[in-house]
């Protein structure tokens, strides 16, 4: 096997191993629903969830809800990522900003994200704007942390090069710090995508009801249609898995391209 095929083979093996536990859980789910060990009203069999999924697809409700959640997720992530990179550069490059804000930031990041919902709702209302702000907050934190780490780990040799060429601050950021911090920033963006998706479901569930996968789960809960609830949970997991794998693939490609 060629050396360039080894990473792809390793990823394939890791993927197959990663599917073992979900498949075992699905088998246990099906067995429990049909054996009477679990009340099927609380844990409906897979075929019932499949029928509900088909009905929701045929009616257009599931695609509409998924599109609403993904739109909300991407808007919040874009806002949070942009703020996170700028804030991370500021804290990583400016000693004054570091002294003033880093201690506060380290304290605020310890607060559970869900604890911000009442405050965000008071400031931004109970509709779409509040949800996007909440998602942006979730995405921004890992981006800020990883951007700071990437900037501060820039090699002293590169800084010396900047001094030799007499780069101004903008040139230093554009030509030295950003390229050196790119792998760390990409890691932060990867984590930000994952956190943004989790925050999307949390925002839809705990804030004002509206279109989205979270709203679909709430609707199933209120009507005691557990098949619809389980469908929403499965969709959340599948989208989260797809987001993680896509972000990993993009991160790997970009880092490999920069180091080629």
Checking if the pLDDT of 74 tops 70, the result is yes
Instruction: Return the residue matching tokens 């990437």.
Output: 150
For residue 1, what pLDDT band results from cuts at 50, 70 and 90?
very low
Task: Tell whether 159 is covered by a domain.
Answer: yes
Domain, as residue range, for 128: 40-259
Task: Tell whether 194 is covered by a domain.
Answer: yes
Report yes or no: 220 and 227 within 8 Å, Cβ to Cβ.
yes
Report yes or no: 236 and 112 within 8 Å, Cβ to Cβ.
no
What is the count of structural domains for the chain? 1
The closest alpha carbon to 219, from 26, 46, 65, 41, belongs to 65
C-alpha neighbours within 13 Å on the C-beta side of residue 44: 20
Chain segment 127-142, per-residue pLDDT in tens? 888 999 999 999 999 9
Task: Tell whether 30 is covered by a domain.
Answer: no
What are the structure tokens assigned to 209, written together? Answer: 């009801």
Chain segment 190-203, per-residue pLDDT in tens? 999 999 999 999 99
Checking if the pLDDT of 102 tops 90, the result is no
Task: Tell whether 28 is covered by a domain.
Answer: no
CATH number at residue 101: 1.10.3720.10
The Cα 245–Cα 253 span in angstroms is: 12
Chain segment 217-240, per-residue pLDDT in tens? 998 888 888 899 999 999 999 999
Instruction: Return the residue matching tokens 């804290």.
Output: 91
* DSSP one-letter string for 125-142: -SSHHHHHHHHHHHHHHH
The Cα 131–Cα 129 span in angstroms is: 5
Sign of the dihedral through C-alpha 28, 30, 36, 38: positive
The Cα 237–Cα 21 span in angstroms is: 14
Instruction: Return the residue matching tokens 């991370």.
Output: 88
């Amino acid at each position: 096997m060629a050396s360039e095929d080894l990473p792809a083979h390793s990823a394939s093996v890791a993927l197959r191993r990663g599917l073992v536990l979900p498949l075992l859980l699905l088998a246990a789910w099906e067995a429990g629903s049909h054996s009477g060990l679990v009340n099927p009203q609380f844990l409906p069999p897979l075929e019932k969830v499949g029928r509900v999924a088909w009905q929701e697809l045929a009616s257009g409700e599931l695609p509409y809800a998924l599109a609403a959640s993904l739109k909300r997720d991407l808007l919040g992530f874009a806002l949070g990522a942009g703020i996170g990179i700028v804030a991370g550069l500021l804290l990583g490059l400016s000693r004054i900003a570091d002294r003033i804000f880093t201690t506060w930031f380290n304290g605020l990041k310890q607060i559970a994200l869900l604890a911000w919902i009442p405050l965000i709702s008071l400031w931004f209302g109970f509709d779409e704007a509040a949800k996007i702000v909440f998602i942006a907050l979730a995405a921004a934190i890992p981006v800020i942390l990883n951007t700071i780490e990437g900037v501060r780990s820039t090699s002293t040799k590169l800084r010396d090069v900047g001094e030799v060429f007499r780069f101004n601050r903008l040139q230093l950021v554009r030509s030295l710090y950003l390229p050196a911090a790119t792998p760390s920033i990409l890691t932060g963006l990867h984590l930000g995508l994952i956190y943004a998706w989790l925050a999307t479901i949390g925002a839809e569930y705990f804030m004002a009801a509206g279109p989205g996968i979270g709203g679909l789960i709430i609707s199933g809960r209120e009507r005691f249609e557990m098949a619809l609830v389980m469908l929403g949970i499965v969709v959340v997991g599948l989208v989260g898995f797809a987001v993680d794998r896509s972000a990993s693939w993009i991160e790997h490609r970009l880092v490999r391209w920069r180091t080629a």
